[in-house]
Structure 1
Amino acid sequence: MTTNKTKQQTLRQNILGSRRFSNFLWASIVSMGGVGFLLAGLSSYLKTNLLIVSDTSELQFIPQGVALTFYGVAGLLLASYLWLLLVWNVGGGYNEFSKETGKITISRQGYPGKNRQVEVQIPIDEVQSIRAEIREGLTPKRSLYLRSKKRRDVPLTRVGEPIALSTLENQGAELARFLEVPLEGL
Protein backbone atom coordinates (compact mmCIF):
# COMPACT_ATOMS: atom_id res chain seq x y z
CA MET A 1 0.00 0.00 0.00
CA THR A 2 1.50 3.32 -0.99
CA THR A 3 0.40 6.59 0.47
CA ASN A 4 0.15 9.84 -1.46
CA LYS A 5 -0.68 13.18 0.13
CA THR A 6 -1.89 15.39 -2.68
CA LYS A 7 -3.19 18.06 -0.34
CA GLN A 8 -3.43 18.50 3.39
CA GLN A 9 -7.15 17.79 3.05
CA THR A 10 -6.92 14.48 1.15
CA LEU A 11 -5.07 11.24 1.88
CA ARG A 12 -5.00 8.52 -0.79
CA GLN A 13 -3.65 5.00 -0.32
CA ASN A 14 -3.18 2.77 -3.37
CA ILE A 15 -3.86 -0.94 -2.77
CA LEU A 16 -1.98 -3.64 -4.65
CA GLY A 17 -4.35 -6.25 -6.06
CA SER A 18 -3.58 -9.56 -7.67
CA ARG A 19 -0.70 -8.16 -9.76
CA ARG A 20 2.00 -9.36 -7.40
CA PHE A 21 5.27 -11.05 -8.32
CA SER A 22 4.24 -14.25 -6.52
CA ASN A 23 1.06 -14.49 -8.60
CA PHE A 24 3.04 -14.02 -11.84
CA LEU A 25 5.42 -16.74 -10.67
CA TRP A 26 2.62 -19.22 -9.84
CA ALA A 27 0.77 -18.52 -13.09
CA SER A 28 3.97 -19.19 -15.05
CA ILE A 29 4.76 -22.42 -13.16
CA VAL A 30 1.22 -23.77 -13.53
CA SER A 31 1.23 -22.87 -17.25
CA MET A 32 4.49 -24.73 -17.86
CA GLY A 33 3.29 -27.74 -15.88
CA GLY A 34 -0.03 -27.86 -17.70
CA VAL A 35 1.63 -27.66 -21.13
CA GLY A 36 4.12 -30.36 -20.10
CA PHE A 37 1.43 -32.77 -18.93
CA LEU A 38 -0.70 -32.12 -22.01
CA LEU A 39 2.23 -32.71 -24.37
CA ALA A 40 3.15 -35.90 -22.49
CA GLY A 41 -0.40 -37.21 -22.85
CA LEU A 42 -0.56 -36.28 -26.53
CA SER A 43 2.86 -37.91 -27.11
CA SER A 44 1.54 -41.21 -25.78
CA TYR A 45 -1.53 -40.96 -28.04
CA LEU A 46 0.34 -39.96 -31.22
CA LYS A 47 3.34 -42.25 -30.51
CA THR A 48 5.71 -39.38 -31.36
CA ASN A 49 7.80 -37.43 -28.87
CA LEU A 50 6.53 -33.87 -28.37
CA LEU A 51 8.69 -33.12 -25.29
CA ILE A 52 12.31 -32.00 -25.22
CA VAL A 53 13.20 -33.28 -21.74
CA SER A 54 11.92 -36.87 -21.92
CA ASP A 55 10.36 -39.42 -24.26
CA THR A 56 6.77 -40.24 -23.31
CA SER A 57 5.80 -41.70 -26.67
CA GLU A 58 6.31 -45.23 -25.29
CA LEU A 59 3.64 -44.83 -22.58
CA GLN A 60 0.32 -46.55 -23.11
CA PHE A 61 -2.41 -44.05 -23.85
CA ILE A 62 -4.91 -45.90 -21.67
CA PRO A 63 -4.61 -45.33 -18.68
CA GLN A 64 -1.37 -43.28 -18.39
CA GLY A 65 -1.81 -40.99 -21.40
CA VAL A 66 -5.41 -40.24 -20.49
CA ALA A 67 -4.39 -39.27 -16.95
CA LEU A 68 -1.55 -37.06 -18.21
CA THR A 69 -3.87 -35.37 -20.72
CA PHE A 70 -6.47 -34.77 -18.00
CA TYR A 71 -3.84 -33.23 -15.69
CA GLY A 72 -2.60 -31.07 -18.57
CA VAL A 73 -6.06 -29.74 -19.38
CA ALA A 74 -6.80 -29.11 -15.68
CA GLY A 75 -3.46 -27.30 -15.29
CA LEU A 76 -4.11 -25.11 -18.32
CA LEU A 77 -7.60 -24.22 -17.05
CA LEU A 78 -6.14 -23.24 -13.67
CA ALA A 79 -3.37 -21.26 -15.40
CA SER A 80 -5.97 -19.44 -17.52
CA TYR A 81 -7.84 -18.43 -14.37
CA LEU A 82 -4.63 -17.18 -12.73
CA TRP A 83 -3.67 -15.16 -15.82
CA LEU A 84 -7.17 -13.63 -15.98
CA LEU A 85 -6.88 -12.58 -12.32
CA LEU A 86 -3.67 -10.79 -13.20
CA VAL A 87 -5.22 -9.08 -16.23
CA TRP A 88 -8.30 -7.98 -14.28
CA ASN A 89 -6.19 -6.98 -11.19
CA VAL A 90 -8.84 -8.27 -8.80
CA GLY A 91 -8.55 -6.63 -5.37
CA GLY A 92 -6.58 -3.61 -6.58
CA GLY A 93 -7.83 -0.14 -5.88
CA TYR A 94 -7.48 2.72 -3.44
CA ASN A 95 -8.62 4.20 -0.12
CA GLU A 96 -9.29 7.95 -0.25
CA PHE A 97 -9.91 10.03 2.85
CA SER A 98 -11.11 13.54 1.98
CA LYS A 99 -11.78 16.19 4.58
CA GLU A 100 -12.99 18.53 1.80
CA THR A 101 -15.95 16.32 0.91
CA GLY A 102 -16.24 14.74 4.35
CA LYS A 103 -16.22 11.25 2.83
CA ILE A 104 -14.08 8.17 2.82
CA THR A 105 -14.07 6.25 -0.46
CA ILE A 106 -12.88 2.65 -0.53
CA SER A 107 -12.66 1.30 -4.08
CA ARG A 108 -11.60 -2.16 -5.28
CA GLN A 109 -11.57 -3.98 -8.62
CA GLY A 110 -13.83 -7.01 -8.81
CA TYR A 111 -14.49 -9.67 -11.40
CA PRO A 112 -15.81 -8.49 -14.78
CA GLY A 113 -19.51 -8.17 -15.06
CA LYS A 114 -22.24 -5.78 -14.10
CA ASN A 115 -20.54 -4.47 -10.92
CA ARG A 116 -16.83 -4.71 -11.71
CA GLN A 117 -15.88 -1.75 -9.50
CA VAL A 118 -16.77 -2.18 -5.82
CA GLU A 119 -16.98 1.18 -4.09
CA VAL A 120 -17.98 2.04 -0.53
CA GLN A 121 -18.43 5.61 0.73
CA ILE A 122 -18.53 6.39 4.44
CA PRO A 123 -18.95 9.83 6.03
CA ILE A 124 -15.88 10.82 8.04
CA ASP A 125 -17.97 11.69 11.10
CA GLU A 126 -19.09 8.01 11.35
CA VAL A 127 -15.53 6.79 11.97
CA GLN A 128 -14.92 5.64 15.54
CA SER A 129 -11.35 4.41 15.24
CA ILE A 130 -8.72 2.63 13.19
CA ARG A 131 -8.23 -0.96 14.36
CA ALA A 132 -5.09 -3.00 13.76
CA GLU A 133 -5.43 -6.77 13.80
CA ILE A 134 -2.24 -8.74 14.31
CA ARG A 135 -2.33 -12.53 14.43
CA GLU A 136 0.87 -14.55 14.29
CA GLY A 137 1.28 -18.28 13.76
CA LEU A 138 0.98 -20.64 10.84
CA THR A 139 -1.22 -18.21 8.88
CA PRO A 140 -0.22 -14.72 10.06
CA LYS A 141 -2.60 -11.82 9.53
CA ARG A 142 -1.75 -8.15 9.78
CA SER A 143 -4.54 -5.82 8.72
CA LEU A 144 -5.98 -2.37 9.30
CA TYR A 145 -9.73 -1.88 9.66
CA LEU A 146 -11.90 1.22 9.68
CA ARG A 147 -14.29 0.95 12.62
CA SER A 148 -17.54 2.76 11.91
CA LYS A 149 -20.55 3.59 14.09
CA LYS A 150 -23.16 2.20 11.68
CA ARG A 151 -21.28 -0.48 9.71
CA ARG A 152 -19.12 -3.49 10.27
CA ASP A 153 -15.35 -3.02 10.29
CA VAL A 154 -14.13 -2.23 6.76
CA PRO A 155 -10.72 -3.68 5.74
CA LEU A 156 -8.21 -1.12 4.50
CA THR A 157 -5.18 -3.27 3.66
CA ARG A 158 -4.58 -5.70 0.82
CA VAL A 159 -5.45 -9.37 0.96
CA GLY A 160 -2.72 -11.97 0.66
CA GLU A 161 0.78 -11.78 1.99
CA PRO A 162 1.00 -10.00 5.35
CA ILE A 163 2.64 -6.58 5.43
CA ALA A 164 5.55 -5.79 7.74
CA LEU A 165 4.64 -4.89 11.31
CA SER A 166 6.48 -1.54 11.16
CA THR A 167 4.65 -0.63 7.94
CA LEU A 168 1.31 -1.54 9.50
CA GLU A 169 2.06 0.60 12.58
CA ASN A 170 3.15 3.58 10.46
CA GLN A 171 0.12 3.41 8.16
CA GLY A 172 -2.27 3.00 11.10
CA ALA A 173 -0.73 5.90 13.02
CA GLU A 174 -0.71 8.18 9.96
CA LEU A 175 -4.33 7.38 9.19
CA ALA A 176 -5.49 7.82 12.81
CA ARG A 177 -3.68 11.18 12.99
CA PHE A 178 -5.22 12.32 9.71
CA LEU A 179 -8.77 11.33 10.73
CA GLU A 180 -8.21 12.46 14.34
CA VAL A 181 -9.46 9.15 15.79
CA PRO A 182 -7.80 6.63 18.14
CA LEU A 183 -5.72 3.69 16.94
CA GLU A 184 -6.75 0.37 18.53
CA GLY A 185 -4.98 -2.96 18.69
CA LEU A 186 -1.31 -1.95 18.93
Structure 2
Amino acid sequence: MQSEIRQDRIVGSRRFSNYFWVISLFFGGFGFLLAGLSSYSKINFLPFTNPIELVFIPQGLVMLFYGALSLSTSIYIFLTVILDIGSGYNEYNKMENLVKIVRKGFPGKNREILLTYSLTNIRSIGIKITEGLNPTRSIYLCLKDERKIPLTPVQEPISISRLEQEAASLAKFLDLKLENL
Protein backbone atom coordinates (compact mmCIF):
# COMPACT_ATOMS: atom_id res chain seq x y z
CA MET A 1 0.00 0.00 0.00
CA GLN A 2 2.71 2.49 0.99
CA SER A 3 4.56 1.87 -2.29
CA GLU A 4 1.47 3.15 -4.13
CA ILE A 5 1.52 6.58 -2.44
CA ARG A 6 4.35 9.09 -2.48
CA GLN A 7 4.27 12.37 -0.59
CA ASP A 8 6.87 15.13 -1.02
CA ARG A 9 6.96 17.87 1.63
CA ILE A 10 7.36 21.46 0.44
CA VAL A 11 9.10 24.05 2.60
CA GLY A 12 7.32 27.38 2.57
CA SER A 13 8.43 30.70 3.98
CA ARG A 14 10.24 29.24 6.98
CA ARG A 15 13.71 29.35 5.47
CA PHE A 16 16.98 30.75 6.77
CA SER A 17 17.03 33.49 4.11
CA ASN A 18 13.68 34.88 5.28
CA TYR A 19 14.80 34.94 8.92
CA PHE A 20 17.97 36.76 7.81
CA TRP A 21 15.99 39.37 5.86
CA VAL A 22 13.50 39.95 8.68
CA ILE A 23 16.29 40.68 11.16
CA SER A 24 18.38 42.77 8.73
CA LEU A 25 15.46 44.87 7.50
CA PHE A 26 14.10 45.38 11.01
CA PHE A 27 17.33 46.66 12.54
CA GLY A 28 18.33 48.65 9.45
CA GLY A 29 14.90 50.23 9.20
CA PHE A 30 14.80 50.97 12.91
CA GLY A 31 18.18 52.72 12.61
CA PHE A 32 17.02 54.80 9.64
CA LEU A 33 13.80 55.70 11.46
CA LEU A 34 15.72 56.82 14.55
CA ALA A 35 18.11 58.84 12.39
CA GLY A 36 15.19 60.62 10.72
CA LEU A 37 13.52 61.30 14.07
CA SER A 38 16.80 62.60 15.49
CA SER A 39 17.13 64.94 12.52
CA TYR A 40 13.62 66.28 13.11
CA SER A 41 13.69 66.62 16.90
CA LYS A 42 17.39 67.57 17.25
CA ILE A 43 17.69 64.93 20.02
CA ASN A 44 20.23 62.19 19.37
CA PHE A 45 18.50 58.77 19.52
CA LEU A 46 21.51 56.89 18.11
CA PRO A 47 24.52 56.63 20.45
CA PHE A 48 27.04 55.59 17.77
CA THR A 49 26.49 58.47 15.33
CA ASN A 50 25.25 62.05 15.26
CA PRO A 51 22.21 62.37 12.96
CA ILE A 52 21.28 65.73 14.51
CA GLU A 53 23.54 67.34 11.92
CA LEU A 54 21.31 66.09 9.09
CA VAL A 55 18.99 68.67 7.57
CA PHE A 56 15.47 67.32 8.09
CA ILE A 57 14.27 68.29 4.62
CA PRO A 58 15.28 66.39 2.48
CA GLN A 59 17.77 64.06 4.28
CA GLY A 60 15.88 63.38 7.51
CA LEU A 61 12.62 62.94 5.64
CA VAL A 62 14.20 60.41 3.28
CA MET A 63 15.66 58.55 6.29
CA LEU A 64 12.18 58.40 7.86
CA PHE A 65 10.69 57.13 4.60
CA TYR A 66 13.33 54.42 4.12
CA GLY A 67 13.06 53.41 7.78
CA ALA A 68 9.27 53.07 7.60
CA LEU A 69 9.51 51.18 4.29
CA SER A 70 12.12 48.79 5.68
CA LEU A 71 10.18 48.17 8.90
CA SER A 72 6.94 47.48 7.02
CA THR A 73 8.75 45.08 4.65
CA SER A 74 10.28 43.23 7.61
CA ILE A 75 6.84 42.94 9.25
CA TYR A 76 5.37 41.57 6.00
CA ILE A 77 8.12 38.94 5.66
CA PHE A 78 7.75 38.10 9.37
CA LEU A 79 4.03 37.47 8.90
CA THR A 80 4.67 35.22 5.88
CA VAL A 81 7.13 33.25 8.03
CA ILE A 82 4.66 32.98 10.93
CA LEU A 83 1.85 31.87 8.58
CA ASP A 84 4.28 29.60 6.66
CA ILE A 85 2.98 30.75 3.29
CA GLY A 86 3.78 28.32 0.47
CA SER A 87 4.31 25.24 2.60
CA GLY A 88 2.49 22.02 1.89
CA TYR A 89 3.01 18.77 0.04
CA ASN A 90 2.65 17.00 -3.28
CA GLU A 91 0.92 13.63 -3.06
CA TYR A 92 1.08 11.08 -5.86
CA ASN A 93 -1.51 8.35 -5.27
CA LYS A 94 -1.58 5.43 -7.72
CA MET A 95 -4.49 3.73 -5.90
CA GLU A 96 -6.82 6.73 -6.37
CA ASN A 97 -5.16 7.65 -9.69
CA LEU A 98 -4.65 11.24 -8.45
CA VAL A 99 -1.97 13.85 -7.96
CA LYS A 100 -2.74 16.32 -5.15
CA ILE A 101 -0.88 19.58 -4.73
CA VAL A 102 -1.59 21.21 -1.36
CA ARG A 103 -0.24 24.62 -0.29
CA LYS A 104 -0.92 27.19 2.43
CA GLY A 105 -1.91 30.62 1.19
CA PHE A 106 -2.72 33.88 2.90
CA PRO A 107 -5.50 33.91 5.52
CA GLY A 108 -9.01 34.12 4.22
CA LYS A 109 -11.50 32.06 2.31
CA ASN A 110 -8.84 30.28 0.23
CA ARG A 111 -6.20 29.66 2.91
CA GLU A 112 -5.75 26.02 1.85
CA ILE A 113 -4.96 25.64 -1.83
CA LEU A 114 -5.76 22.16 -3.17
CA LEU A 115 -5.18 21.18 -6.80
CA THR A 116 -6.00 17.66 -7.97
CA TYR A 117 -5.16 16.07 -11.31
CA SER A 118 -5.94 12.64 -12.64
CA LEU A 119 -2.90 10.56 -13.61
CA THR A 120 -4.57 9.88 -16.97
CA ASN A 121 -4.42 13.62 -17.77
CA ILE A 122 -0.66 13.85 -17.17
CA ARG A 123 1.58 13.68 -20.23
CA SER A 124 5.04 13.81 -18.58
CA ILE A 125 7.31 15.23 -15.91
CA GLY A 126 9.26 18.26 -17.15
CA ILE A 127 12.47 19.90 -16.04
CA LYS A 128 13.19 23.58 -16.71
CA ILE A 129 16.65 25.00 -16.08
CA THR A 130 17.47 28.65 -16.79
CA GLU A 131 20.78 30.22 -15.91
CA GLY A 132 21.77 33.85 -15.69
CA LEU A 133 20.96 36.67 -13.31
CA ASN A 134 17.86 34.96 -11.92
CA PRO A 135 18.47 31.21 -12.29
CA THR A 136 15.57 28.77 -11.92
CA ARG A 137 15.58 25.01 -11.69
CA SER A 138 12.11 23.53 -11.49
CA ILE A 139 10.17 20.31 -11.95
CA TYR A 140 6.79 20.55 -13.69
CA LEU A 141 3.78 18.33 -14.10
CA CYS A 142 3.03 18.52 -17.85
CA LEU A 143 -0.63 17.92 -18.60
CA LYS A 144 -2.10 16.74 -21.88
CA ASP A 145 -3.80 20.11 -22.39
CA GLU A 146 -0.33 21.76 -22.50
CA ARG A 147 -0.50 23.25 -18.97
CA LYS A 148 2.64 23.04 -16.85
CA ILE A 149 2.11 22.88 -13.09
CA PRO A 150 5.22 23.65 -10.97
CA LEU A 151 5.98 21.02 -8.33
CA THR A 152 9.07 22.58 -6.74
CA PRO A 153 8.86 25.54 -4.36
CA VAL A 154 10.32 28.96 -5.03
CA GLN A 155 13.75 28.72 -3.46
CA GLU A 156 17.42 29.00 -4.11
CA PRO A 157 18.32 26.82 -7.07
CA ILE A 158 19.26 23.25 -6.16
CA SER A 159 22.04 21.43 -7.96
CA ILE A 160 21.24 20.19 -11.45
CA SER A 161 22.16 16.61 -10.54
CA ARG A 162 19.79 16.63 -7.54
CA LEU A 163 17.00 18.16 -9.62
CA GLU A 164 17.45 15.52 -12.33
CA GLN A 165 17.55 12.77 -9.72
CA GLU A 166 14.30 13.96 -8.09
CA ALA A 167 12.55 14.34 -11.46
CA ALA A 168 13.72 10.92 -12.67
CA SER A 169 12.58 9.32 -9.41
CA LEU A 170 9.14 10.93 -9.74
CA ALA A 171 8.82 9.99 -13.43
CA LYS A 172 9.76 6.40 -12.61
CA PHE A 173 7.26 6.26 -9.72
CA LEU A 174 4.43 7.59 -11.91
CA ASP A 175 5.59 5.59 -14.97
CA LEU A 176 5.82 8.75 -17.10
CA LYS A 177 8.41 10.07 -19.51
CA LEU A 178 10.83 12.82 -18.51
CA GLU A 179 11.27 15.84 -20.77
CA ASN A 180 13.33 19.00 -20.91
CA LEU A 181 11.28 22.21 -21.17
> TM-score, with normalisation over the residues of structure 1?
0.90
Aligned-residue sequence identity (percent) comes to: 45
2:133 to 135, 138, 148: 138
Report the AA paired with residue 33 of structure 1: G
State the shift of 1:151 in Å: 5.9
The one-character-per-residue Cα deviations of 1:7-61 (angstroms, maximum 9, x if unpaired) are 1011000111122111111121111111001111111222221113212123333
**2:152 paired with 1:157:** yes
2: distance between equivalents of 1:151 and 1:16?
27
Aligned residue for 2:68? 73
SS at match of 1:130: strand
Alignment correspondent of 1:92: 87
Distance 2:146 2:78 in 1: 34
Which piece of structure 1 moves more, 64-73 or 98-107?
64-73
Counting helix residues as a fraction of each chain, which structure ranks higher? 2
The answer as to 2:161 corresponding to 1:169 is: no
Output the CA distance in 2 between the equivalents of 1:70 and 1:181.
53
Q: Alpha-carbon deviation of 1:62?
A: 3.0
Structure 2: distance between partners of 1:141 and 1:56: 42
Per the alignment, residue 35 of structure 1 pairs with 30
**CA distance in structure 2 between the aligned counterparts of 1:12 and 1:74, rounded to whole angstroms:** 39
SS at 2:167 equivalent: helix
Q: Please list every run of 5 or more consecutive structure 2 residues that lacks an aligned counterpart in the other structure.
A: none
Distance in 1, Cα, partners of 2:92 & 2:78: 32
2:5 to 3, 6, 10: 10
Unaligned runs of 5+ in 1: 1-5
Instruction: Provide the residue aligned with 2:42 in structure 1.
Output: 47
Provide the secondary structure at the position in 2 that maps to 1:57.
Answer: helix
The residue that corresponds to 2:119 in the other structure is: 124
Structure 1 SS opposite 2:51: coil
Moved more, 170-179 or 141-150: 141-150
Superposition misfits of 4+ residues, deviation over 3 angstroms: none
| Cα deviation 1:163-182 (Å, max 9, x = unaligned) | 11111111111111110111
Say what the alpha-carbon RMSD is for the aligned residues: 1.7
Do residues 106 (structure 1) and 94 (structure 2) align?
no
Q: 1:26/1:104 Cα in 2 relative to 1: closer, same or farther (>3 Å)?
A: same
The one-character-per-residue Cα deviations of 1:66-120 (angstroms, maximum 9, x if unpaired) are 2211221111111111111211222211100011221110011112221011110
Question: For 2:145 and 2:102, how far apart are their aligned partners in 1?
Answer: 19
Q: Which residue of 1 aligns with 2:78?
A: 83
The reply to whether residue 60 of structure 1 matches residue 55 of structure 2 is yes
